[in-house]
């Protein structure tokens, strides 16, 4: 299985407003806004990797090999959560019978998304499987949207992101102090190297 992040669905959606971040970090000026917002995005990504949750809503394409779909009793886990099944994901396969040497994607309709935790994709009972190529990425699930919408992210996750940002921010301040002290103590300021 391979997951491809197709990108943020609503680019204007941010998990935090700058004023909220500024207040949390006890900042008095806006001079570091750009840098801190980049660090915030990195903190969000770190929490997403640790929790396997998608905090900011975006679309994914998930590729499966032929064996994974043929032997998926109970369904294949969709590796991102939460999943919005109202978007009607599409399941495609690469036909084993290529046309003129070219492989084409065909749509497969006999599947469902199971609303379990985690969500799973499952073939319908008694569904006949098409003759699929034996390629690594013979099946793909597209139009799968995961993540929290505007105002839906649980407060505990938002706090985890702020705590991650805070630890990064504090360590950067400490590193800056160490570097400034080293420069001052060793008389390096104003010297060319």
Which range has the top average pLDDT, 94-103, 122-131, 182-191?
Answer: 122-131
Residue 188's pLDDT is 40
Among 158, 164, 136, which Cα is nearest to 64's? Answer: 136
Residue 2's pLDDT is 86
- Going along the chain from its start, the domains and CATH numbers come out as 2-55+151-185 (no CATH), 58-146 (2.60.40)
Mean pLDDT score across all residues of the chain? 80
More confident of the two residues 127 and 192: 127
Residue 92's pLDDT is 92
Rounded average pLDDT over 75-99: 83
The burial of 157, by beta-carbon neighbours within 10 Å (0-12 exposed, 13-18 middle, 19 or more buried), is given as middle
What whole-number distance in Å separates Cα of residue 109 and Cα of residue 123? 9
pLDDT above 70 (res 11): no
Residue 99's pLDDT is 65
Q: Which residues contact 9 (CB under 8 A, 6 or more apart)?
A: 57, 58, 59, 145, 147
Residue 91's pLDDT is 92
Rounded average pLDDT over 162-176: 74
Residue % of the chain over a pLDDT of 90: 7
Degrees, nearest 5: CA angle 132-136-140: 65
More confident of the two residues 96 and 120: 120
pLDDT per residue over 23-35, tens digit each?
Answer: 988 888 888 888 8
Rounded average pLDDT over 83-110: 83
Rounded average pLDDT over 79-90: 84
Q: Is the whole-model pTM more than 0.75?
A: no
């Amino acid at each position: 299985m391979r997951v491809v992040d197709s990108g943020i669905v609503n680019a204007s959606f941010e998990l935090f407003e700058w004023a909220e971040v500024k207040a949390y970090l006890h900042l008095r000026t806006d001079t570091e806004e750009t840098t801190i917002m980049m660090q915030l995005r990195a903190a969000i990504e770190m929490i997403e990797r640790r929790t396997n949750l998608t905090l900011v809503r975006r679309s994914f394409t998930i590729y499966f090999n032929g064996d994974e779909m043929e032997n998926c009793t109970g369904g294949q886990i969709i590796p991102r959560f939460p999943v919005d099944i109202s978007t009607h994901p599409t399941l495609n396969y690469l036909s084993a019978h290529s046309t003129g040497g070219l492989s084409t994607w065909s749509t497969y309709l006999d599947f469902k998304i199971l609303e379990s935790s985690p969500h799973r994709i499952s073939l319908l009972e008694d569904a006949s499987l098409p003759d699929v190529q034996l390629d690594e990425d013979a099946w793909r699930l597209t139009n799968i949207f995961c993540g929290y919408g505007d105002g839906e992210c649980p407060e505990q996750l938002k706090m985890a992101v702020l705590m991650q940002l805070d630890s990064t921010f504090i360590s950067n301040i400490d590193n800056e102090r160490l570097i400034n002290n080293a420069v001052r103590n060793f008389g390096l300021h104003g010297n060319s190297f």
